[in-house]
Amino acid sequence: MGKSKYYFVWIDGHKAGWLNQRVFLRNKISVVKKISLVNNPYYSFPTKDAINLATDSTGTVVNPNKVKASQDEVLSNSASEHKITFTYGKAHAHTVVEVRGDAQEGVGVADKPEQTGKSASSWFKHYRTSGNW
């Protein structure tokens, strides 16, 4: 068996200890499996926003901008389904971006009349200030 490398790891500013290199995910891309968009002619979805995590052959986290995507963005102006492939070195992953067909989905009408009432006021009265505030 070959020599193993160990890395000293800090988590959230605290010493976590030594870890064998085999515990790190290597050559992996984790993505959202399915994305559903509302039909919207004014929005295009940047596909790299689907990436959760990407690692290289040593298990080091890779900047998502270095991951190649089969399509940079998905226009959400018409109903469609797009299969996006992500690659980095030997790592690869797939996601499906669906644009739903109803262009009126989520569009509401403000048809309620304005209501009158008392002005909002707090029930809490604070008379002094503390030196700690």
pLDDT tens per residue, range 57-109:
888 899 999 999 999 999 999 999 999 999 999 999 999 999 998 878 877 78
* Residue 46 φ then ψ, to 5°: -75, 115
Please name the residues in contact with 70: beta carbons below 8 A apart, sequence gap of 6 or more: 83, 84, 85, 86
Q: Specify the pTM.
A: 0.67
What 8-state DSSP symbol labels residue 22? G
Domain range 24-99, CATH class: mainly beta
pLDDT digits (tens, 9 = 90+) for 38-63: 999 899 999 999 999 999 988 889 99
